Amino acid sequence: MAAAEENSSLFLIFILTMIALPLVPYTITRLCHAATKKAKTIHCRCSGCHRSGKYRKSIYKKISNFSTWSNLTILLLWIVVIFLIYYIKLSSREVQVFEPYSILGLEPGASESEIKKSYRRLSIQYHPDKNPDPEAHTYFVESISKAYQALTDPISRENYEKYGHPDGRQGFQMGIALPKFLLNMDGASGGIMLLGIVGLCILFPLMIAVIYLSRSSKYTGNYVMHQTLSTYYYFMKPSLAPSKVMDVFIKAAEYMEMPVRRSDDEPLQKLFVAVRSELNLDLKNIRTEQAKFWKQHPSLVKAHLTRESFALTPALVKDYRHMLELAPRLLEELVKIALLPRSPNGFGWLRPAIGVVELSQSIIQAVPLSARKAGGGNSEGIAPFLQLPHFTEATVKKIARKKIRAFQELCDMSEVERATLLTQVAGLSEEEARDVELVLEMIPTVEVDIKCETEGEEGIQEGDVVTMYAWVSLQRRSGLTAALPHAPFYPFHREENFWLLLADTASNEVWLSQKISFMDEATAITAASKAIQDTQEALGASPKEIGIAVREAVDRVKKGSRLVMGKFQAPSEGNHNLTSFCLCDAWIGCDSKTSFKLKVLKRSRAGTRTYVPEEGPVAEDGIEEEEEEEEEEYDDYESEYSEDEEEEKKGKGKVANGAAHQRASSDIDSGSDD
């Protein structure tokens, strides 16, 4: 019985040890990280973002931030640890060594007469006939009598003096760290143990596998349905106009599964009329078009773009928020679909990729696509202005009278001149002008340094594996590198990302593409260090040279730059006019673009090189690309990156295989306007 209780106690100690070993160092690490983490405001501080409530640190939000799965798991494990410690302390009894001489109050080696004298003295004090206290009775029976017997019996006394125990030599006893009921293998206990082994070793892993396979068969790693990717792949065309990207975007299976309720007819009818100008409708079949768009819920997205979502019912508000929550990852997958290598040369398509990024900008900033139409001497339209707080079309017209037609012209003004323009010309109050200033401080300015070369060789020849090195640098007037965009109409937290595209605009082909984030500096430092180290080692650099190059790369990352590297196979001999785009998926008007010339020489080195690009997502079965693309004419806005043939012929700003220094596209546009 005692052995079984000891085994149960050992099992609890074993469980406590297994929990505490990883829990204690992990908790210490988390606490140290939380103590050293600098509290820095990286979100917009304008009144519009404040009213949205996304960044308000209420008690509920603080509890929500703490109530992550990781924190709750740590808290639960510590509760279990405290309970186990308390239970083990209660259930475990201290092992007391039997000392008969000490119990009788004698020195070791006392004579028999001294033992009897001490026993008679203690009997008078603790004998049940002399002391009615139950504890005295227990002490007399279990301690005094047992000690007297051990010392008066010759054999017991000899065993005690020789082995330390009245019963003689004691064997070494070991316990098993298992619960008591599992040690009784007879009857139902054996079946319980068998069921536990089967459940833990067979049924539980099988259940996890079934859940994983059932989910993976429906969703991708980015939580997008496979059916959505199949649909996007089918409708993606190389000549897809930017304004037609919306029609492809809303065909996602996640949106098609949203219910269509009869109770929504009246509010949808009002909403349809409000956003009708933004819909590409066949006016001859207006009823059919209206029913089709209701079924696909595009009017909710259009309502967001026109900021007309105030009249929605609670059910439609839920649908509206669900659509906006899914939009970022759906748009990211749509960009990847556009960049899949499907051209004869194995490149992606430029025009639809730019259109998807521009749609992402419009959704985050709640700016209608029609606002991108060029006009009034501004190639990018009034969309960049409408992302600023308190700006409307009327405000843009007012400042245009003072020759401020391009967004970059407004950004380049001094703070005093801008405040005067906004308060005296645009009619904004001082508080509203201050909001505009806060947002302008958050808008990023992007610069890109690109260099293309063949590692270890001079010049680029046909068939070489060309390596592109691009340092993308970001600056803000606020001094922040990582920041959340100003998006008062988007109800969720949204991080800004950038897409770097190296493309041939003449053939509509994207040679290289990479998504860039400025939020995680530690990851960027690790990636840049490894890339520079691998490159230098391949070139045979010394350890000292490698260390210097790595330190320089780390310094650039800490100052707000990110390293992007990519490889492609050099095309045929000649001068190839390429353009690099750095597109932000959250801000309008802060993208950058430049042109440079890639000079490829005739093959003179021995041997040929082959570069096999990494495999992209595989198209769904049963989907084939149409051999002939229908040429469509769209009466809508053109992307601000639509190329002008004459500008291409002039070849302004092109650098042959060198470092092409790239600034904001608005600078280029404003320069061309002058």
For residue 619, give both structure tokens.
Answer: 């198209």
Q: Output the pLDDT for position 185.
A: 52
Q: Output the pLDDT for position 316.
A: 82
| C-alpha dihedral (271, 272, 276, 282), degrees to nearest 10 | 170
Q: Output the pLDDT for position 268.
A: 73
Q: Quick: pLDDT tens for 322-336.
A: 889 999 999 999 999
Residues near 287 by beta carbon (within 8 Å), at least 6 away in sequence: none
Backbone dihedral region for residue 376 (phi beyond 0: left; psi -120 to 50: alpha; all else: beta): left
Rounded CA-CA distance 484/586 in Å is 9
Angle at the Cα of 84 from the Cα atoms of 82 and 90, rounded to 5 degrees: 105
In the chain (674 residues long), the average pLDDT of successive 10-residue segments reads 53 82 88 64 81 63 61 88 84 63 79 83 82 81 80 75 68 54 55 69 82 76 87 91 85 83 74 65 63 59 68 81 90 94 85 94 90 75 92 91 89 92 92 93 92 87 90 92 90 91 93 92 92 89 92 94 92 91 93 89 69 43 39 50 48 50 41 38
Q: Quick: pLDDT tens for 470-487.
A: 999 999 998 888 889 999
Q: Output the pLDDT for position 302.
A: 64
Backbone dihedral region for residue 424 (phi beyond 0: left; psi -120 to 50: alpha; all else: beta): alpha
Phi and psi at residue 367, to the nearest 5°: -115, 130
Rounded CA-CA distance 92/6 in Å is 8
Q: Output the pLDDT for position 552.
A: 94
Is the CB of residue 467 less than 8 Å from the CB of residue 611? no
Q: Output the pLDDT for position 269.
A: 73
Q: Output the pLDDT for position 582.
A: 95
Give start and end residues of each alpha helix (H) in 37-68: 47-52, 59-66
Write the DSSP symbol of residue 355: H
Is the CB of residue 289 less than 8 Å from the CB of residue 281? yes
For residue 216, give both structure tokens.
Answer: 């993976």
Q: Output the pLDDT for position 673.
A: 41
Query: Residue 448 pairs with which residues in a beta bridge?
Result: 472, 662
Query: Residue 446 pairs with which residues in a beta bridge?
Result: 474
Q: Quick: pLDDT tens for 106-139.
A: 887 777 788 888 888 888 888 887 788 888 788 8
Q: Output the pLDDT for position 611.
A: 47
For residue 428, give both structure tokens.
Answer: 């904004």
Residues near 577 by beta carbon (within 8 Å), at least 6 away in sequence: 504, 505, 506, 595, 597, 598, 648, 651, 654
